[in-house]
Structure 1
Amino acid sequence: NSGTGATIPGSMASALRARLLAGGTAPLVPTFTDGCTQEIEVCVNDVLVYDEEDPSCNDVVLTRTFTATEIAVCPAAAGEGNPSVTAAYTITFSRPDLDDLSADNIEPVVNYELCGTANPTRADYPAPRTQDFPFLEIGGRTFNLTNGDAVCNIGVTYSDGEAVVTCPFTYKFVRTYTVIDWCDPSDVRTFTQVVKVGDTTAPTFSGPTQDRDFDGVVDSDLIYTTNAGNVCAAYIRLDAGISATDNCSDDVTITAVIYPGADLSATPIGAFDVDPTDNRAEVTSAIPVGCHLLRYTYTDECGNTDFSDYPFCVEDGTAPVAICEDGLNISISSGSAAGGVSTGIAILTPEMIDAGSYDDCSGVTLEIARVGADNIATEAYDQELVLTCADLGTVRVGLKVTDAEGNMNFCWLDVLVEDKNAPSCIAPGPVEISCIVARATLPDDIMEATEAELDATFGFATGVDNCDVTITSTISGNVNSCGVGSFTRIFTATDGEGFTNTNNCRQRITVYGVHDYRLTFPTDEEGTCADVPAYAGIAADEDACDLITTDVVVDTLRTLEAGEECFKLRVTYDVINWCEYNTLGQPYLIPRDGDGIRNPE
């Protein structure tokens, strides 16, 4: 464009553009303008001049000439044509030397992550990468050197030393880079680096997981329960659920240590060798309850190693050990309520049937309950069991043992509930009754009286025992014909076990006599001569306990004493109350009452 001097887009050949860039970002073109024509054609001509003395090694000068010509010729003021104009500049190509060489990219040690061969040769060596060669740095620009290709007069080669095998899949060797300036063969630069080929990656490890609720989802934590017997600790299987693979080695060594309390500064427990493929369980020593850190370290045959940490907790998940006595006999205590109702009981506590139950981590709580034949509790477990007389015999009892974490266990035994105490007997007090009451309330033969009749008349005995008691009695003694005498009641208290009272349990009954009777004597009677008149005898009315007999003596009087009568009968009555009679007392004489009027004479 003649007005602005800018190159019209698309008018410059691409090959020319590349030459005009000259390592810059825009073509380096002089600015041509013209006041008449709109466009100017610019032609470029390059002339290279090599040094005659050493054209291969000395500088090369390029002269670049630009010729500008009007595309549409405009007449000049004087009438002549407008000639073309030229502009030129020179570019000097200075050949590099080894002072421009940079080896900053050459690493002292370079690793090639490959599974090496067992007996490597140079043919097995990996070739250098582009970034492994030294390079030329000129004017802020970088020129890479590659094996077999020279940059100007600079060339590079490399050579490799013998392989040193460090493991079945890894070897190393020394690689030497040689750089020469062919314009100055005396200047040779060498660089060395150690090349390691093989497995430098640690194995891949998959650690233990748990699915304690079996829902198919891996739990976020690891929890092990105590299983070390009477020690509050757990044996942990280290090979379960783990695996280790390596990209080269078939043999991966795994060890495990445990840091108590997850304290990495603490002395670890272990190390434990772990092989998940040998079909043998690798188990730790006893790990105490608490939260710890499990560290697996895994190493391949080339010594590549890494570790993975797994926090875990050991919890008391083991039920306590429940130990019951082999058997137990317990006696019901003594006692009864007034009236003979048994109040005997026995209190059975868990400690009485415990034979040393324990837990590996904590103390235990003991509770007791009745159980059925299937050892299932028939009532709630509690701190005591009250046994009564209704439990006499064998009672099946369970012991519940609970630790601090709520884990529980049970044991069972048969308890023999016994009544070892003989009953006591309390007899009713002595009784005195009249013969009248005795005859009114009791049969003539007192031996035929029932217990109820005797108890109603004389009172009842009371038995005292820790359990039910039965009272029986016997009676002995007699009364005479007057209903007077005494009896002895002997009571026996018998409990459910067949024990009887050992104390004397007797009642004395005295029957005393009562005299209440009336005697009616007959009056005089008379009749005609030779006819004996009828006369009544003695009438005895007995209203108490008397035994009256009458003896009659009749005298016939035929003497002068008989008077005018043909004869007289004199009747004498001897009346005896055998219940009052004694040989020492004088008889009581009752005179004749001939006229029906008492005459004391």
Structure 2
Amino acid sequence: VDCSYIGSTWMAMVTDPDTGNKCWSQVTVEDKLPPVFDCPAAPIPLNCSFDIGIVPAPPVSDNCGVATVEQTDEYYLDQDMCDDAMVLVVRAWVATDIYGNVSEPCFDTIKIVRPDPTFPADQVWDCSDFASYPNIIEPTLYTGYLPTTGSGIPGNGQMDGTYCMYNYSHSDELTDACGNSFKIVRTWTVLDWCTNEVFTHQQIIKVVDVTAPVLITQPFTVNADIPATPPALCRSTGFIPAPTVTDDCNEVTIQIFTPVGEAIYANGIDGSEGGYIPAPGLELGYHTITYIATDACGNSTETQSFVQVVDETAPVAVCDEITDVDLDSDGLAEVFAETFDDGSHDNCCLDHFEVRRMD
């Protein structure tokens, strides 16, 4: 018979094994056993920053099922943290099962203790994280989760309860570093109300930029704009486009280098608006252009691109207005194309002359 039969009535028969006499009776199944607590024998330790309400009730069992567990009393055995570094709280509990049976009371003891004073660790934050979450340098609880964390407090929350008997404060000294980077020297002062001792500690908090800029370039072409002066070939001092640069924290300085020297910058400062190939210019063909992006903290990125110097200027044809030609006895004459030239020219070089008859 188990708890599922509780409340049911059975017809029971008892037989005497010696005489064979029998009797009958009705039996009703009931639950008369109360719940039983597993009361802790030793005090339950609890940090002073926590409320005793977070300590669960003692475990309880019952043969058919517990209906309620109720705290019936609470009192202090020792409420002075400073005399022995603990506060003792006693709680009384009773449990009632689903059939109304009430347990014997259970008494558990909570020992509230306080830690020795500790201080937050030094912190180094990336400037990009600080730009998105300025809360990370605040003197608040360190959680490690950027949207909510601060740079820590004494005990990191474990020294803040009523019975902890600590009080703390801080002062900050800010020092600028490169670009948007900076350092905070945070001086913590902790007062122990039990011993009247004062503890101090300096915490260093840094916001740094250690990430190089991102630099993107594309190949490009320029036209030869310096005419050839034999034996020198035509060259170009054309425009070099600026790269695409991104940096999470600081301003960036861009340098552009060509095989004939550093570019002549359009803004007179750096290559953020592009620049020009310096004299004597680059000859026709492919050349390597080197870009260097450096942020305010000295982090730099270097990449290379290619420029093709091309001749996109058509020759200027100049011909004789009138050319006299003598025919031979067959009525023919051989005339070379160069014969009609009267100073044709090109910025680079003339390859050949061609001439055709105009109808």
Q: TM-score, normalised by structure 1?
A: 0.37
Partner in structure 1 of residue 277 of structure 2: 284
The runs of 5 or more residues in structure 1 that have no matched partner are 7-17, 75-82, 115-125, 137-141, 209-219, 261-267, 336-342, 371-377, 380-601
The change in CA–CA distance for 1:62 and 1:364 in structure 2 (over 3 A counts) is: same
Residues 324, 347 of structure 1: alpha-carbon distance in 2 compared, 3 angstrom cutoff: farther
Are the aligned partners of 2:258 and 2:290 in contact in 1 as well (CA < 8 Å)?
yes
Pair 349,95 (structure 1): closer, same or farther in 2 beyond 3 Å: same
- Paired amino acid for 1:283: Y
1:96/1:154 contact within 8 Å kept = no
- The residue that corresponds to 1:107 in the other structure is 123
Deviation string for 1:3-37 (max 9, x for gaps)?
A: 9969xxxxxxxxxxx85542xxxx333314267x9
Deviation at 1:257, TM superposition (A): 0.8
Q: Which amino acid aligns with 2:204?
A: Q
Distance 2:350 2:34 in 1: 102
SS of match in other structure, 2:352:
strand
Compare relative contact order (CA 8 Å, sep 6+) and give the higher one, 1 or 2: 2
2:115 maps to 1:96: yes
Whole-Å separation in 1 of the counterparts to 2:346 and 2:257: 25
1:369-422 Cα offsets, whole Å, 9 max, x none, are 23xxxxxxx26xxxxxxxxxxxxxxxxxxxxxxxxxxxxxxxxxxxxxxxxxxx
The letter of the residue matching 2:277 is T
Q: Which residue of 2 aligns with 1:273?
A: 265
* Counterpart residue identity of residue 295, structure 1: Y
Instruction: Figure out how many residues of one structure are paired with residues of the other and give that number.
Output: 292
- Per-residue CA deviations over 1:431-485 (Å, capped at 9, x if unaligned) read xxxxxxxxxxxxxxxxxxxxxxxxxxxxxxxxxxxxxxxxxxxxxxxxxxxxxxx
Aligned residue in 2 for 1:160: 172
Checking the alignment, whether the CA contact within 8 Å between 1:159 and 1:176 is kept in structure 2 is yes
Give the match's secondary structure for 1:347: coil
- SS of 2:355's equivalent? strand
Q: Deviations over 1:112-168 (max 9, x none)?
A: 549xxxxxxxxxxx85354212453xxxxx63668xx8881344322123x556689
Distance 1:42 1:108, change over 3 A: closer
Instruction: Look up the match of 1:176.
Output: 187
Please state whether the residue corresponding to 2:239 is helix, strand or coil: coil
Residue equivalent to 1:313: 307
The partner residue of 1:224 within 222, 225, 229 is 222
Equivalent residues of 1:51, 1:58 under 8 A apart: no
Distance, in Å, in 2 between the alignment partners of 1:54 and 1:324 is 109
CA contact (8 A) 1:298 1:307 kept: yes
Distance 1:172 1:309 in 2: 32
Unmatched runs of 5 consecutive residues or more in structure 2: 4-30, 37-50, 142-149
Q: Could you tell me how far 1:253 is from its partner in structure 2?
A: 7.7
Is 2:78 the partner of 1:50? yes
Q: 2:59 aligns with which of 30, 42, 56?
A: 30
2:157 aligned counterpart, secondary structure: strand
Which of 339, 345, 368 is the aligned partner of 2:332?
Answer: 345
Question: Residue 63 in 1 paired to residue 57 in 2?
Answer: no
- Describe the shift of the 1:158–1:314 C-alpha distance in structure 2 as closer, same or farther (beyond 3 A): same
Q: Secondary structure at the match of 1:364?
A: coil
Residue 244 of structure 1: how far off its partner (Å):
9.3
Give the secondary structure class of the aligned counterpart of 2:328: coil
Q: How does 1:191-202 map to 2 (within 5 A)?
A: 191-194=202-205
Shift of residue 177 of structure 1?
2.8
Structure whose CA Rg is larger = 1
2:354 counterpart residue number: 367
The equivalences for 1:350-499 within 5 A come to 350-354=337-341, 364-370=351-357, 378=358
Query: How far off its partner does 1:222 sit?
Result: 3.5
Q: Structure 1 residues 226 and 327, CA, compared in 2 at 3 Å: closer, same or farther?
A: same
> Percent identity among equivalent residues?
17
| CA distances 1:563-596 after superposition (whole Å, capped 9, x unpaired) | xxxxxxxxxxxxxxxxxxxxxxxxxxxxxxxxxx
In structure 2, C-alpha distance between the alignment counterparts of 1:350 and 1:369, rounded to whole Å? 9
| Structure 2 Cα separation of the partners of residues 155 and 21 of structure 1 | 24
CA RMSD after TM alignment: 5.4
CA drift at 1:47: 2.7
TM-score by length of 2: 0.57
The structure-2 alpha-carbon separation of the partners of 1:309 and 1:246, relative to structure 1 and needing over 3 Å to count, comes to closer
Q: Is the 8 A contact 1:97 1:181 kept in 2?
A: no
Aligned to 1:233: 235
2:45 is aligned to: none
Partner amino acid, structure 1, of 2:123: E
Contact 2:81 2:87 in 1 (8 A): no
- Per the TM alignment, residue 349 of structure 1 is displaced from its structure 2 partner at its CA by 1.6
Structure 2 counterpart of 1:257, which letter? I
Task: Give distance in 1, aligned partners of 2:333 and 2:34.
Answer: 126
Counterpart secondary structure, 1:156: strand
Q: Distance in 2 between matches of 1:281 and 1:143?
A: 54
Query: Distance in 2 between the 1:194 and 1:40 partners?
Result: 51
- The answer as to whether partners of 2:175 and 2:184 remain within 8 angstroms in 1 is yes
Return the offset for 1:245: 11
- Which amino acid in 2 is paired with 1:237? F
SS of residue matched to 2:169: strand
3-state secondary structure, aligned to 1:295 = strand
